[in-house]
Structure 1
Amino acid sequence: MQDRTTPSRRTVLAATAAAAVTAAGASALTLAPTPGFADSRSRLEQLISRMSLEEKVGQLFVMRVYGHSATTPDPADADANLREIGVRNAAELIRRYHVGGIIYFAWAHNTRDPQQIAGLSNGIQRAGLEQATPIPLLISTDQEHGVVARVGRPATLMPGAMALGAGGSRADAREAARIAGAELAATGINQNYAPVADVNVNPANPVIGVRSFGADPDAVAGLVAAQVKGYQSAGITATAKHFPGHGDTMGDSHYALPTIQHTREQWDELDAPPFRAAIAAGVGSIMTAHIVVPSLDPSEDPATLSRPIVTGILREELGYDGVVVTDALDMAGVRQRYGDDRVPVLALKAGCDQLLNPPKLDVAWSAVIEAVRSGELTERRLDESLMRILQLKTRLGLLRHPFVSPREVVRTVGARAHLTAADRIAGRTTTLLLNEKGLLPLSRRSHPRVLVVGADPASPSGTTGPPTAIIARAFTALGFTAAARPTGITPTGANVNEAVAAAVGVDVVVVVTYNLTADSPQRTLVFRLAETGVPVVTVAVRNPYDVAQLTGSGIAASLAAYGWTDVEVRAAVRVMAGRAGPEGTLPVPVPHAEDPAQVLYPTGYGVMY
């Protein structure tokens, strides 16, 4: 491909980047504008004018890639890249398609440990600078914390969104995001797909739930703004998602195309406030949702492909001129009505800027190029998105300083002060919903022997094991005699019988629950254990609605932890053992199980000792 950048310019950029990667003690990125080549819009326009069509199109894509290294992935990862993308590694991906961003996933083996992540990031940025037009990349991930975390230990894992909603502190939300942002920045990740700005008003929502701060739009708006400021003060860009609001759905857009039936007035009242707050806080990017909202666009196109929603509402009504990134284009919600060649073109026509993770990059990339050549899209339209993306890269300092220092990784990721802050913040989130006859707090004198049973959901990256094991270890550390006997999310009859037999001779049984339903075998486990006469305490480690399924069970106490990372579960143990008070209150209402129209526990509810 013809080199459309002058040698002197390429030399300056490459030299600056090379110096940065070897500089001792390189500092975290900042959002302050950087002096020099990339400061002015006119300079960026000059850069864009020298780019080929292929380069411009590539800059709009954010793509997955397998492997822990940009150039030498494990053989299995290289094979996966060849099958799915037609390249062997990240460096080849960047050379062939000129992509403007890479998204990290744990399952793609991108996030093995902090030093490896930093090395991968530096390798990606080096490949970006070795292109004909050298441009660093936005490196992104979904580090929401709580149940969605791509970067795990030894990184600091904070309580998730609904736990922070239970704590209710904007200062805590901002501090959690600042710490998380600093650790991401140290590893070279500069765009986080968080915070979730959806207002979870539907208890049956299968995809958002505890990923939301709660059900009150004003409370959610305040916490979203706090996290935007926290992340961006640490030198990365936040991403408010999923516009125009994914909180009231019965479907999961990974597997279907959900419809939100809010009227325009309901949308203004319920869904819009957190996004307005994010925009007012200066959020660098906003992610669209693959949902249908007929009151906002009667065409029934998903919001990602809807010009009335993306351009008409987000751009024109809300006044947002930052980067709009699609949710992943390999999700079923955006692929049901159109083929993989049409989706990226329609997303750009709707007003999106970044095209995230298409299932077949060659098809998507070629389709956008052909749409320009045929006149369906204009280069001017591409340049609008490209300018927003380059301006964001400029504000992040990437055009001058794209690399990270290994010493900064050691100094920042999992720092003692960060871990202490995580425990402190988590300590204000646990919610006590039921405490019959004042069973809690437990004491080593009256209830020294503790049996922990129940669900063992797949561990997110930030845990040291299933929640039953974490709880048992935490009780033991406080001087109790505790044993764990995980029974799983779907315990068998044999599992239940074994747990009941193990309860003989103990002083209290703690049952970990995970999204109980009326016919859940977890519910059978709780009822059978309560029948033994041993006091039973339940701890919900995902949605807080579990307690509604336990009416009449005879349990002695029930808590909501909102997640099962170490910090959230340890906080619940401190509450049970009386080492901390139950400061959290419900950020969502809990409806009656048999009559969802009736509220069992309202928003703001919580029992104190």
Structure 2
Amino acid sequence: MAGALAVTGASVASAGQTGQVDTFAAEAQRTLHGLTLEEKVGQLFVTWVNGKSADEVNAKNQADFGVDTPAQVIEKYHLGGVIYFNNDSRDNFDDPVQVAKLSNGLQQAATRSGARIPLQIATDQEGGTVTRMGAPATEFSGAMAISAGRSTANATAAATILGKELRAVGINQNFAPDSDVNSNPVNPVIGIRSFSGQPGLASQFVTAEVKGYQDGHRLSQTVSATAKHFPGHGAAPTDSHTGLPRIDSTEEHWRETDVPPFKAAIRAGIDSIMTAHIQFPSLDPSLEPATLSKPIITGKLRGELGYKGVIVTDSLEMQGVREMHTDAEIPLLALKAGADQLLMPVHLDVAINSVVDAVRKGELSERRIDESVLRILTLKFKRGILFSPYVDPAKVMGQLGTPANLAKAQEVADRSITLLRNDGGVLPLKQKPASALITGWGVSTTAQLAARFTAHGTPATALQTGQAPSDALIAQAVAAAQGKDVIVVLTNNIRLFPLQLKLLNALNATGKPVVAVAAAIPYDAGYDETVKTWLASYGYITPSVEALAKVVLGEVAPQGKLPVDVPVGADLTKVKYPFGHGLSW
């Protein structure tokens, strides 16, 4: 490692005292002085890499970056960071030991590059539906499920565990917690990723999770948290992955609703804040996406809110940021707006060269580049990345998915299940059912819930009918319900897939006890008047499914309270189940 990065144990210890910020800043300043322009610009960028080991030859790397291996991507561009994914096109996760070795290999490549600066290695581990590293790591419920349990202590515990497990495999930055206030029930991209539709509750849980991710006497067990998506994505009517949402809230409404969780995150010492690709005319009449808006990023976030940490863009390959500008223009506009880290540009080579060329032509000052690099380096010192970039693969399996961690995840999920309606008194069941039908949405979720029922002593049959059940599937479900003691119907987004109501009506007409479950967004319950018993689980990861089984079978009483208002179907002016509602027995 470069001499400038040789941080001694004494300096780390002193940094933990009153001179912490000054010590990190001084170390960062010394490191900055040794970098070329190209190396400085490389530190601004965070990209994906293709492969599960640093030296894996993957054809996608050649197509994306003009080199063969992930390590070569790091060395070629002097990158400041990478981000891991677990999807079909970009899959970096196989098992925890493999991930740890990948991280070590990429860190070695970073210290071989010209900059010789270890990487921020990031991922999106929000919990719930946004989980990149699954079992055998500990899987936690998502934000809205956690806040439904109303325990900020559990939120802190969940973030602490997630952070330690991420750091154990070499991931040192988590793009969480989602700090949006889901004020729009038809928001297609935030929903249960948000803690609440109320800014006060959202702020409490954002604070709790930031504390869990970042606080701790051992820097090697903490990760940088990231509050997202500033100035607030909760009211968006469309998905910024596929379009450019426009939010027409007044500036006053923005201050009252969207700002508080970000203020809370800043007070809690959040390491980084992610921008949103949204138009917000009351904050910037030019209609530039917030990511590229100087009035929003520099004016509001830096100036008004006084944020001094790292600002990272949301992915620059998303359509929301690409509708108005070319891929060469976007990085320059983001830097001019006040962003520090540029996440996932479509063409990394084009993006980096556009910034370097702009500095050489005088369009962008090197001093402006230095400001962002200093923030990034300071964060890397603060989080222990520059003096502790490596992990021990031999110790990983003893740190992930421990019995204590799994028990805490189940405890959190058990508190989340919310009983919204119980007019017929179906729950608690008068006696343990001898058989059950689990039907509705979700191939794996219906099967998993049926397996959990069976494990708890009630043999269950799974019959998934999808989000748009055909008449034939509905008839099959009605036939399967015959002879069953209880029917559980899982729903997912009735607003967009109303045929699920037809399934509910048909099963309710059988006269059998029917329990409907909003398996994702709780707003589904507002669309139905037929079924007398409704639960909300706010997600369908393993602990949530187990908690759901225990509640329906009477082993656990529902404890959850709604973190949002549930309107009357599509009529957003009327509330059917208000914030804080939740029945029990």
Q: Name the TM tier (shorter chain).
A: over 0.9
Structure 1 unmatched ranges of 5 or more? 18-28, 458-465
Q: Give the corresponding residue for 1:58.
A: 42
Distance in 2 of aligned mates of 1:394 and 1:572: 43
Q: Rate the CA distance shift 1:493–1:34 in 2: closer, same or farther, 3 A.
A: farther
Q: Note if 1:175 corresponds to 2:157.
A: yes
Q: CA deviation at 1:444?
A: 4.8
Q: CA deviation at 1:262?
A: 1.3
Match of 1:573 among 523, 536, 549: 549
Q: Give the corresponding residue for 2:446.
A: 468
Q: Note if 1:123 corresponds to 2:110.
A: no
Distance in 1 of aligned mates of 2:431 and 2:59: 55
Q: Give the corresponding residue for 1:86.
A: 66
Q: CA deviation at 1:39?
A: 4.2
Q: In structure 2, what residue type is equivalent to 1:428? A: R
With normalisation by structure 2, the TM-score equals 0.95
Q: Give the corresponding residue for 2:515.
A: 537
Match of 1:378 among 365, 370, 387: 365
Distance in 2 of aligned mates of 1:49 and 1:594: 58
Q: In structure 1, what residue type is equivalent to 2:47? A: M
Q: Give the corresponding residue for 2:458.
A: 480
Distance in 1 of aligned mates of 2:27 and 2:313: 27
Match of 1:329 among 316, 319, 323: 316
| 1:276–1:318 CA contact under 8 A, matched in 2 | yes
1:430-481 deviations in whole A, cap 9, x for unaligned? 0001113321122554x32101011116xxxxxxxx1111211111121112
With normalisation by structure 1, the TM-score equals 0.91
Q: CA deviation at 1:112?
A: 1.3
Match of 2:396 among 386, 392, 409: 409
Please give the secondary structure, in 1, of the residue aligned with 2:463.
Answer: strand
Distance in 1 of aligned mates of 2:570 and 2:190: 22
Structure 2 unmatched ranges of 5 or more? 216-220
Distance in 2 of aligned mates of 1:393 and 1:597: 47
Match of 2:183 among 187, 201, 221: 201
Structure-to-structure mapping, 1:198-277, within 5 angstroms: 198-233=180-215, 234-277=221-264
Q: CA deviation at 1:520?
A: 2.1
Distance in 1 of aligned mates of 2:114 and 2:430: 68
Q: CA deviation at 1:171?
A: 0.7
Q: Note if 1:155 corresponds to 2:141.
A: no
Q: In structure 1, what residue type is equivalent to 2:32? A: I
Q: In structure 1, what residue type is equivalent to 2:558? A: P
Q: CA deviation at 1:338?
A: 0.5
Please give the secondary structure, in 2, of the residue aligned with 1:596.
Answer: strand
Q: Give the corresponding residue for 1:184.
A: 166
Moved over 6 A (4+): 33-36
Q: Give the corresponding residue for 2:218.
A: none
Distance in 2 of aligned mates of 1:361 and 1:542: 35
Structure-to-structure mapping, 1:255-404, within 5 angstroms: 255-404=242-391
Distance in 1 of aligned mates of 2:206 and 2:410: 21
Q: What is the percent sequence identity of the aligned residues? A: 49
Q: In structure 1, what residue type is equivalent to 2:510? A: T
Q: In structure 1, what residue type is equivalent to 2:451? A: R
Please give the secondary structure, in 2, of the residue aligned with 1:428.
Answer: helix
Distance in 2 of aligned mates of 1:433 and 1:43: 54
Match of 1:599 among 565, 575, 582: 575
Q: What is the alpha-carbon root mean square deviation over aligned residues?
A: 2.1
Q: CA deviation at 1:417?
A: 0.3
Distance in 2 of aligned mates of 1:217 and 1:354: 27
Q: Give the corresponding residue for 2:32.
A: 48
| 2:434–2:459 CA contact under 8 A, matched in 1 | yes
1:548-599 deviations in whole A, cap 9, x for unaligned? 1211x2x231100000101112111111111111100111011111532111
| 1:81–1:89 CA contact under 8 A, matched in 2 | yes
Q: CA deviation at 1:127?
A: 0.5
Please give the secondary structure, in 2, of the residue aligned with 1:136.
Answer: coil
| 2:172–2:385 CA contact under 8 A, matched in 1 | no
Q: Rate the CA distance shift 1:576–1:135 in 2: closer, same or farther, 3 A.
A: same
Match of 1:454 among 431, 440, 458: 440
Q: CA deviation at 1:518?
A: 7.0
Instruction: Tell me the number of residue pairs that the alignment of Structure 1 and Structure 2 aligns.
Output: 574
Q: CA deviation at 1:32?
A: 4.9
